[in-house]
Amino acid sequence: MEFLEREDIDLVVTDIRLPGIDGVELTKRIAERWSDVPVIVVTGYGDIETAVEVLKLGASDFIVKPFSAAAIHESTRVGLEKASLFMEIRHLRHRLKESCEFGGMLSRTPEMHRVFEIIRTVAPTDSTVVVEGETGTGKELVASAIHYQSERRERPFVTINCGGFPEQLLESELFGYERGAFTGANQSRPGKIEMAHGGTLFLDEIENMPISMQVKLLLVLNNQKVQRLGSNRWTRVDMRIIAASNIPLKDLVAQGKMRSDFYYRVNVILIELIPLRQRLDDLPILIQDFLRHHPVAVKKNITGISNSAVDHLTQYSWPGNVRELHNVLEKAVILGKSRVINVSDLDLDFGGSTGETNANVTAPKGATELPLYLWIREKEKEYLIHKLSAYRGRIGLTAKSCGMEVRTLHRKMQLYGLDKKAFSKRL
């Protein structure tokens, strides 16, 4: 079934007697999952009862052996003709996916396509890469895409979450240890660095790596040798480093949380991932892709989402990015009752906390009357009006000043009904 999932098959011709799964079961499964794919069943003489059974299950035709080429041709032609519309849709979807998909990431936005291009360019090199982006933006997917497009793809891709361990445990995880190196070290164990030899070491959440560990890792990177805890022996390592952070590394340096020598050693190629709220145009393809692959959506035959539900999703700020979108969709497909996701199926926390818990903070003007997202939109509109006025409606300059892409500014202006001509007159 994975083959049918992976490939765009337009018609299946199958014998009825097969080892493992037989033609009857195969027809049943295909009819359930890919009802638009015609199945022609080839049967032996005297197998007519089974042939009738497969027709009832959804096979488009059956042919009795020995068959003539003309019979096969005619049956195929009829089957494909009936399914031609579905076939066209399937091929278009495939082409669309090919143009939007890269290493498990889907996007139509030029910003993400630039990221795909950087990945293609840097993958064959051994350069150290830093991936910066908010939580849930797909930093590990980027790291994995780089590894699997590189010459190191046959060797290990080793991941360590630098925020997942206390300092001493992180050290033993990274460097490994010899038996007796510390209490509880009953046997020797290689660290992640050694395990990544020949491949790639992905340091996730590097913002949480203690300064002392940065010094030790820097030594490994400079010397390309590692020493297990409790050992005097150095082992040569050849690995590529990819690091990911939720916080820009230069901010960590400014805050004294990252050594500048370590920063300059790792920050060779920087890939910045934009948050989902800046690529809302991608929502439809992300949603469709989720529905096509999530087992519950497939089982319940949930194939679409209403326009109002998409509008609702575009109004949300997505602090958890694509990961949060997947969670919201998963809940919707599990609890949803219809074949289309509706607004009522979406559980979005528009009043979500910003992390501010001080009860003495004065509510901003008008904030108590409006839901948070509407208040934010009002403020954003005011901000854009101010900026457009300051730059007399010149889009490029305004976008640069706002720190956003021209395309994003255009979309927001459209959303708020702002016309650049109105600002060019304000002298």
CA distance 350 to 242: 35
Among 27, 75, 76, 137, binds another protein (CB under 8 A): 76
Q: Indicate the burial class of 38 (C-beta count within 10 angstroms; 0-12, 13-18, 19 or more).
A: buried
Phi, psi of 271 (to 5 degrees): -115, 120
Token pair of 20, please? 């493992």
Residue 138, sorted as left (phi over 0), alpha (psi -120 to 50) or beta, turns out to be left
Residue 53: closest CA among 24, 32, 78? 24
Q: Is 26 in the site for another protein (CB under 8 A)?
A: yes
What is the token pair recorded at 8? 């765009």
72 binds another protein (CB under 8 A): yes
**Candidates 68-76, 130-138, 162-170, 195-203; binding stretch for another protein (CB under 8 A):** 68-76
Query: By CB under 8 A, is residue 349 in contact with another protein?
Result: no
Q: What is the 3-state secondary structure (H, E, C) of 117-178?
A: HHHHHHCCCCCCEEEECCCCCCHHHHHHHHHHCCCCCCCCEEEEECCCCCHHHHHHHHHEEC
Closer to another protein by Cβ: residue 10 or 324: 10
Q: Verify binding: residue 211, another protein, rule CB under 8 A.
A: no
Of 12, 57, 291, 341, the residue at the interface with another protein (CB under 8 A) is 12
| Closer residue to another protein in complex, CB, 69/363 | 69
Shortest reach from residue 13's CB to another protein, in Å: 5
Region of 4-12, 120-128, 199-207, 281-289 interacting with another protein (CB under 8 A)? 4-12
Q: C-beta of 15: minimal distance to another protein in Å?
A: 4
* Comparison of 80 and 296: residue with beta carbon closer to another protein: 80
Size of the site for another protein (CB under 8 A): 29
Q: Which of 73, 82, 114, 379 binds another protein (CB under 8 A)?
A: 73
With CB under 8 A as the contact rule, the residue among 32, 88, 238, 251 that binds another protein is 88
Show contacts with another protein in window 90-119 (CB under 8 A). 91
- What is the C-alpha separation between 399 and 385, in angstroms, rounded? 12
The amino acid that residue 187 corresponds to is Q
Work out whether 13 is an interface residue with another protein (CB under 8 A): yes
Query: Which residues sit at the interface with another protein, rule CB under 8 A?
Result: 1, 3-4, 7-15, 17-21, 23, 26, 42, 65, 69, 72-73, 76, 80, 87-88, 91
